[in-house]
Amino acid sequence: MNFSNEELLEMYSDIVKSRVLGEKIVEYIFSGKIAGAIHPCLGQEAVSAGILTAFKKSDIITYGTETHRAQTVMAHRVGWKPFIAELLGRTGGCNDGISGEYHIHDLKNGQLPAAGALGGTWAEIAGFAWALKNDGKKRQIGFAPYGDGAISQGATYEAMNIAALFKLPILFFIENNGIAMSTPVENQSPLENLADRAAAFNMKGVTVDGDDPVAVAEAVLNGMELAANNEPNVVEVKTMRWEGHYVGDPQKYRDLSYKEDLDSICPVVRFEKRLIELGILDDEIIKAVRESQTKEIVDGFDEGLSQTIATKEQVLDYNRVYSNNAGGEL
Amino acid sequence: MSEMSVMKALNLAMFEEMVADEKVICIGEDLGKQGGCWGTFTGLQEKFGENRVLEFPILEAGYTLFSVGAALGGYRPIVEFMFADFVTLGFEGIVDIAAKIRFNSGGVDSCPVTFVLPQGGGGKSGAHHSQSVEAWFANVPGLKIVAPTTPADIRAYYRAAIRDDDPTLFIYQRATMGLTGEVPDVLDEVPSLAKAGKIVKTGADLTVVAYHRALLNAMAAAAQVEEETGKTIEIIDPRVLIPFDKEIVFDSVKKTGRLMVAHEAPERGGFGAQILSWVVENCMKELKAAPVRVAGVNSIIPFGDLEKYLYPSVEDMKAGILKALK
Ligand SMILES: Cc1ncc(C[n+]2csc(CCOP(=O)(O)OP(=O)(O)O)c2C)c(N)n1
Ligand SMILES: [Mg+2]
């Protein structure tokens, strides 16, 4: 697959944006401005950049249940400002700052309800994808993301079985960062490549380098095409989690020597080198991209922080829980 | 009017709603040629096709979650669990996902799924095929629970559950599948789930609130006690547990001053405890005696005929009524 220079530069913007978002999440958590344990995507930015590139390049519409470390994709779907405000629990959030980043839900923008409980949303997407197919909606698919840990849940196997049986338009996407909370992937699965699970359901499965945004974008674009032709399939990308499970996690459970030379494993640095070699990036552009992306994110945080939090009445509104007044009380 | 069994009433209600709304779909096991484990889906796939009556493999967790996704995609799924007990496998989909859809979408999206749960004893199938599950879900905001008993009520309230835009558990007693009763040929109006309580029989000395087989047993026991004592007993079938029709129960207790609540589910943490609490909180002044509960034993259901030791019999109901009347 070929990407134009413009597309590569936009991919670069996205990888930087992901990085800045991760850094800012860490910063705002330490300064007490973000509540709850948020899981930043530091080290995994090429994954989001690749996904976003594929989404922008293809005419296929995706609906996904992104959550957790996929903040950049969530923000791309619901809009950066509504996303950041939701992360901050402010009323400008896409769910009024009431649902929170864990449970982000914005159907009109393709964000299917994410779940704090890991394991179920692949099957939820299967139902949505069935509806798309049954309604004859061409080139619209379900995009089902999970980490290497979440995919051990039984419902993910049921979801793959359903998708394969009913030939549903779904791409199952595994972001394998080698670890789930404290448990390394070797202790979770006997497989070398988690995408091999696809074979059990007669589906195609591929594993690519998740630290290369171009490889991710290509694999996702291929998987999206297959899905749009009612061929559900699995794409696994291998990457590495830099942070702890949550911000402030002392990570006593793993060897932290990788931190001594992060540049050598950094997907942003690696992509920069490649683009410099191709002659489409230089120090000036690097600086400008970093500045503009930082500004957009910091502005988003500033705007979010200027907003109120929801009132008790808003949170306890009966109409937020039930659809009609049968009963009339919570 | 025509005489009809619970089984036929279930079938009729689905048929009517599938005709009324092409977005109504059925999800479950053996729904095709078999017509469902209980025959309640008989003829539906033949009439409406495989894209509206979806036969699934044995993956309750998967198809519970699937139904939520289909609902978000604009459909109105009916999801059958062969036995209510198997809903343990669908717990995540119902409790964590379906119940929270509206809330987490900020009141924008609804989740109009009906989960159908044939429950309780009578089948003599033991610990994994005989439990009563309403209280497992009564503690979960966002869900509604519909539990009618007679064929006419099953037809009307099944339709109401399917029409309701919120995730609704439709629970019926499996053992009374063959119970027959008069059902109107045409349902003039699909009822609301609000204020669904029905005074099955009026009386002046005691209020009995019961549903499913416990309702039938309580009615039989009440007739005996009335005959023997000359007292009269008011019997209320709530038909819907959430939202619960409190007023009809409060009004009755304020009149009779006495209450007995009965169900087949275990007594501890049962829905009867909730009804009792509401009544005590609101009708203490009028109560002439401590309210009474008659419920299943807090134990595991054994196989075969032995199940009779667990569920409240007509005699148990009678003892409860006499105690409440003291
Ligand atoms: C059902 C369930 N079990 C446990 C958790 C707690 N939990 C949250 S994230 C996580 C690790 C997930 O690992 P993975 O899927 O690899 O995602 P990663 O954090 O690596 O991005 C765990 C155990 C949960 N949210 N849901
Ligand atoms: Mg992981």
| B137 and B204 fall within a common domain | no
Query: B189 lies in a domain?
Result: no
| B172 and B26 fall within a common domain | yes
Classify the C-alpha dihedral B260-B262-B266-B270 as positive or negative: negative
CB A305 within 8 A of CB A34: no
Q: Which of A291, A209, A268 is nearest to A15 (CA)?
A: A268
| B10 and B114 fall within a common domain | yes
| Number of domains observed in the structure of chain B | 2
CB of A179 shorter than 6 A to ligand 1: yes
| B171 and B224 fall within a common domain | no
| B160 and B302 fall within a common domain | no
* Angle at alpha carbon of residue A137, lines to A135 and A142, rounded to 5°: 100
CATH top-level class of A5-316: alpha beta
Rounded to the nearest whole angstrom, what is the distance from the C-alpha of residue B253 to the centroid of ligand 2? Answer: 58
Contact residues on chain B for A98, CB-CB shorter than 8 A: 103, 106
| B42 and B98 fall within a common domain | yes
Q: How many CB atoms lie within 10 A of CB A187?
A: 9
Q: What is the CATH number of the domain that holds B81?
A: 3.40.50.970
| B111 and B224 fall within a common domain | no
Query: B192 lies in a domain?
Result: no
Residue B128 annotated among the catalytic residues of the structure:
no
Instruction: Decide which of B136, B156, B183 is a domain's last residue.
Output: B183
Query: B190 lies in a domain?
Result: no
Instruction: Decide which of B158, B183, B208 is a domain's last residue.
Output: B183
Please report, in tens digits, the pLDDT of each residue of chain B (326 residues total).
999 999 999 999 999 999 999 999 999 999 999 999 999 999 999 999 999 999 999 999 999 999 999 999 999 999 999 999 999 999 999 999 999 999 999 999 999 999 999 999 999 999 999 999 999 999 999 999 999 999 999 999 999 999 999 999 999 999 999 999 999 999 999 999 999 999 999 999 999 999 999 999 999 999 999 999 999 999 999 999 999 999 999 999 999 999 999 999 999 999 999 999 999 999 999 999 999 999 999 999 999 999 999 999 999 999 999 999 99
| B6 and B111 fall within a common domain | yes
- Is A326 touching B (CB cutoff 8 A)? yes
Q: What is the CATH number of the domain that holds B229?
A: 3.40.50.920
Instruction: Decide which of B183, B210, B234 is a domain's last residue.
Output: B183
CB of A185 shorter than 6 A to ligand 1: no
Strands (E), A44-186: 61-64, 140-147, 170-176, 179-180, 183-184
| B168 and B242 fall within a common domain | no
ipTM: 0.96
pLDDT band at A326 (very low <50, low <70, confident <90, very high): low
Question: Residue B310 belongs to what domain range?
Answer: 198-325
- Is A113 touching B (CB cutoff 8 A)? yes
| B26 and B173 fall within a common domain | yes
C-alpha dihedral (A130, A134, A137, A141), degrees to nearest 10: 10
Q: How far is B81 from chain A (nearest CA, A)?
A: 16
The residue written with tokens 């995994």 in the block is A44
CA–CA dist A53, A58 (Å, integer): 9
Query: B139 lies in a domain?
Result: yes
| pTM metric for this prediction | 0.97
Structure tokens at A255: 């060897």
Q: Which of the ligands is closest to the CA of residue A118?
A: 1
| B64 and B154 fall within a common domain | yes
| B16 and B48 fall within a common domain | yes
* Angle at alpha carbon of residue B198, lines to B197 and B199, rounded to 5°: 130
Query: B262 lies in a domain?
Result: yes
Question: Which ligand 1 atom is nearest residue A177's CA?
Answer: 20
- Is B32 touching A (CB cutoff 8 A)? no
Q: How far is B140 from chain A (nearest CA, A)?
A: 11
